[in-house]
């Protein structure tokens, strides 16, 4: 038996997770999987219920799970809360607590959606890149950090820090991913300015010696941002630190037309993982059956592949997404002329029907 923890979270989280679970149930049935599915609280929903965005009960369940499916966290009603109680702290807390250092963010353009991108179709047609983002270090978690009084005025500060072992393990994830793809890895840093990046580059080069088949290149982050919107198809796998990966992965997502299509996986050294769409909680459309569940459904596919050893099930889901797009079904975020506008529930139902 495999244990899955579901954390719907806030905004559109519960509705997209609901559709993804319909798909998971059906795949489990088709593949004869034995799953135990529990539900827990995270983010604003957890704060509302028990006063903390990452409650102890969730922590306990998370540690026991083989995989976690998360919806989204956050909402305007929580913005005034002190930092430690904000929904985002729930997400950062679970990443750090479980040691989920390797964040995989694929940006794949489905050919059916080529016209949904704000870039010209020929620039993005066939796009298939993977960003490997380090997720538990860097300026997100580095110390010292804070806001304090210096010479009569307040000063805010954070610390970008990476140890050799942290760089080494994420570099290895990047090289391994590249080995399974087109064998090209671009490491993104700011080594012309930052010591932390100087070390990053040195360690990545060293790890690269173990992967002679992989063509390794290096790019400064500002140039990488430009190249992503200029000629994104030059990339196969990109590996980078936490903050650069945060920024570049949003840019990469938009190349594909809709952030509503992209899944992500955050893994630790044991193979357990947290799977979530890369988009946020979209409070403006929550509860209206408008949200696109595909990113969450594809996150389930990643979960089957990376944590549950169910490649077949993963492929079934990915094929079903292609089929439903071929049928012309579109949620509002990917709607285009001549296609059929559907709500999130109808999209979920169509995906379930397309699984067989
Ligand atoms: C992401 C998000 C998070 C991050 C926020 C919600 C804390 O932007 O997963 O990319 O910055 O990592
Ligand atoms: Mg982000």
C-alpha to C-alpha distance for 346 and 186, rounded to whole angstroms? 39
C-alpha to C-alpha distance for 170 and 199, rounded to whole angstroms? 13
HSE-up of residue 103 (Cα within 13 Å, Cβ side)? 27
Atom of ligand 1 minimally distant from the CA of 278: 9
Q: Looking at 250, 289, 345, 349, which residue is catalytic?
A: 250
Task: Name the residue at shortest CA distance from atom 10 of ligand 1.
Answer: 246
**Strand 146-150 relative to strand 153-157: parallel, antiparallel, unpaired?**
antiparallel
Let me know if 246 is a catalytic residue.
yes
pLDDT at 133: 98
Six-digit token string for 242: 């936490």
pLDDT in tens, 201-243: 999 999 999 999 999 999 999 999 999 999 999 999 999 999 9
Q: Looking at 38, 222, 284, 326, which residue is catalytic?
A: 222
Identify the three-state secondary structure at position 288: coil
Atom of ligand 1 minimally distant from the CA of 95: 12
Return the biggest CA–CA distance within the chain.
68
C-alpha to C-alpha distance for 309 and 303, rounded to whole angstroms? 9
Contact 306, 324 (CB under 8 A): no
Contact 171, 102 (CB under 8 A): no
Task: Name the residue at shortest CA distance from atom 12 of ligand 1.
Answer: 246
As a whole number, the mean pLDDT across the chain is 96
CA distances from 318 to 18, 290, 323 (A): 18, 21, 9
C-alpha to C-alpha distance for 222 and 345, rounded to whole angstroms? 40
| Banded model confidence at residue 116, pLDDT cuts 50, 70, 90 | confident
pLDDT at 74: 97
Q: Is the pLDDT of residue 257 over 80?
A: no
Task: Name the residue at shortest CA distance from atom 7 of ligand 1.
Answer: 88
C-alpha closest to that of 129 among 177, 197, 170: 177
Number of residues in the chain: 356
Report the share of the chain in percent with pLDDT over 90.
Answer: 91
Residues forming beta bridges with residue 154, ordered by sequence position: 149
Q: Which residues contact 118 (CB under 8 A, 6 or more apart)?
A: 254, 257
Q: Which ligand is nearest to the CA of 276?
A: 1
pLDDT at 258: 78
CA distances from 236 to 67, 175, 185, 232 (A): 27, 11, 6, 9
Let me know if 250 is a catalytic residue.
yes
Count of CB atoms within 10 A of residue 13's CB? 29
pLDDT in tens, 293-345: 999 999 999 999 999 999 999 999 999 999 999 999 999 999 988 999 999 99
pLDDT at 256: 86
C-alpha to C-alpha distance for 171 and 180, rounded to whole angstroms? 15
Contact 68, 102 (CB under 8 A): no
Quickly name the fold that domain 1-111+258-356 has. Isopropylmalate Dehydrogenase (3.40.718)
Radius of gyration of the chain (CA): 20
pLDDT in tens, 164-197: 999 999 999 999 999 999 999 999 999 999 999 9
CATH of domain 128-255: 3.40.718.10
Count of CB atoms within 10 A of residue 199's CB? 17
pLDDT at 202: 98
Contact 161, 196 (CB under 8 A): yes
10 in contact with ligand 1, CB cutoff 6 A? no
Contact 50, 328 (CB under 8 A): no
Mutate to test the pocket of ligand 1, among 44, 88, 282 (most ligand atoms within 8 A of CB): 88
Phi and psi torsions of 328, nearest 5°: 85, 10
- Segment among 6-20, 33-47, 106-120, 307-321 with least mean pLDDT: 106-120
Task: Name the residue at shortest CA distance from atom 8 of ligand 1.
Answer: 246
Q: Which ligand is nearest to the CA of 250?
A: 2
Phi and psi torsions of 279, nearest 5°: -80, 170
DSSP string, 225-261: HHHHHH-GGG-SEEEE-HHHHHHHHHHHHHHTS-GGG
CATH 3.40.718.10 in the chain: give the residue spans: 1-111+258-356, 128-255
- Segment among 113-122, 272-281, 283-292 with least mean pLDDT: 113-122
Six-digit token string for 158: 């954070």
C-alpha 28 to ligand 2 mean position (Å): 31
Contact 273, 104 (CB under 8 A): no
């Amino acid at each position: 038996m495999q244990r899955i923890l579901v954390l719907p979270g806030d905004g559109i989280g519960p509705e997209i997770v609901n559709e993804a679970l319909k798909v998971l149930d059906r795949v489990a049935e088709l593949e004869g999987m034995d799953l135990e599915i529990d539900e827990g609280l995270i983010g604003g929903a957890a704060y509302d219920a028990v006063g903390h965005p990452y409650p102890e009960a969730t922590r306990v369940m998370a540690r026991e799970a083989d995989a976690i499916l998360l919806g989204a966290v956050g909402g305007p009603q929580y913005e005034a809360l002190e930092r430690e109680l904000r929904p985002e702290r729930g997400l950062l807390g679970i990443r750090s607590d479980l040691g989920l250092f390797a964040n995989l963010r694929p940006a794949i353009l489905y050919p059916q959606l080529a016209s949904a991108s704000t870039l010209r179709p020929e620039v993005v047609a066939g796009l298939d890149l993977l960003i490997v983002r380090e997720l538990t270090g860097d300026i997100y978690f580095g110390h010292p950090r804070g806001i304090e009084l210096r010479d009569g005025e307040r000063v805010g500060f954070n610390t970008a820090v990476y140890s050799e072992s942290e760089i080494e393990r994420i570099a290895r994830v990047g090289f391994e991913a590249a080995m399974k793809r087109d064998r090209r890895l671009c490491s993104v840093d700011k080594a012309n300015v930052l010591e932390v990046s100087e070390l990053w580059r040195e360690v990545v080069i060293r790890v690269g010696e173990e992967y002679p088949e992989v063509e390794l290149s290096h790019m400064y982050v500002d140039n990488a941002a430009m190249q992503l919107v200029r000629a994104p198809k030059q990339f196969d796998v990109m590996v980078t630190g936490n903050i650069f990966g945060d920024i570049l992965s949003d840019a990469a997502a938009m190349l594909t037309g809709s952030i509503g299509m992209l899944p992500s996986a955050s893994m630790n050294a044991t193979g357990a993982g947290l799977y979530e769409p890369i988009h946020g909680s979209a409070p403006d459309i929550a509860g209206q059956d408008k949200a696109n569940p595909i990113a969450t459904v594809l996150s389930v596919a990643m979960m089957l592949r990376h944590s549950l050893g169910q490649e077949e099930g993963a492929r079934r889901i990915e094929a079903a997404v292609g089929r439903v797009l071929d049928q012309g079904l579109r949620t509002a975020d990917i709607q285009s002329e001549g296609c059929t506008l559907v709500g999130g529930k109808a999209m979920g139902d169509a995906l379930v029907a397309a699984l067989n």
